[in-house]
Structure 1
Amino acid sequence: MSDTQDRPATPAINAVLRTVLVWTGIAAAALIVLGGGIGYLVAGAEGLWSGLAGVGLAIVFLALTPVSVLIANRWYGKEMFATVFFGIVMGGWLLKLVIFIVAIVILRGQSWVVPEVIFLSLVAGIVVSLAIDAIAFSRLRVPHVSDVVLPSRNPEDDPDS
């Protein structure tokens, strides 16, 4: 039996990553309401748009990593899995860096941006995402070596012994 036939069809971590994305979506809805609402109360319409921009950036940045890992895991069990996986994940991180630089350059010169509101909205999004990740991964029930099939102890069942 070949090594790829012994492996499960998908890595065990995929279920956790999907859960993280669902919780991030729910938290994003709450952050949009809170960030936009508080921004509006503090600085009017400019605060509203600043709060929404900060939360939007946080959501994009924080969702890109689990999404890129889920996409990369589609090649799980294939010959070039490690190369494809790290290429996709590192490409996602590079994309985040480019988006961040472009967003800062574009938003820096806008008259409607309230720096304190956009900053606090972005920080709130990051803190909530880190809390979601910490809770999801602390509840993770995957063995340390989740995707490995061990040989049987019975010598009759193991052709290599």
Structure 2
Amino acid sequence: MAEVRIRNTDERIQGEEKVSAFLAEQGVLYEHWNPSKLPAELQNKFVLSDEEKQQVLETYDTEIRDLASRRGYQTWDIITLSEATPNLDELLKKFEQVHTHTEDEVRAITAGKGIFIIKGSDEVGYFDVELEAGDVISVPENKPHFFTLMDNKQIVAVRLFIETEGWIAHPFQDPSFKQS
């Protein structure tokens, strides 16, 4: 279940209802899909064949299509990251830059863990959303953020896009942002 940490105060928000309410106040969609719906052999597997990626998409087809129809997403895929990913550290450095997009950035975590760091309202500042299997988040277009992995560096996620070529990151320079 997702957990939020507000960076300025180190306050933690836990529980699906409280997390969902906080994120909604910040303009971020949060939902939860049933992680046990995924076949057991894929629940902790982080290197997937094309057939296994397709199996993940088929397992969550109803949820994906429902979210896509409500939010206008046109295409989706699977991203897998782990120690087996070539040049993982360089890839993460690219991810770990505050940026925006001209469309939502959506992740439905099917295995592993990750963190979105998002710029909230002026009163809140930046906050971390720690995600695990079953958590679904949509960071709205033009909202400064970035995504990274937790210490175990393993994740499988469904990504949904409006534009069929996917999103493009636009760097966001913010002197108030502090890595922590």
Shorter-chain TM-score tier: under 0.3
Report which of the two structures shows the higher radius of gyration computed on alpha carbons. Answer: 1
Q: TM-score scaled to structure 2, two decimals?
A: 0.24
Higher-helix-fraction structure: 1
Higher-strand-fraction structure: 2
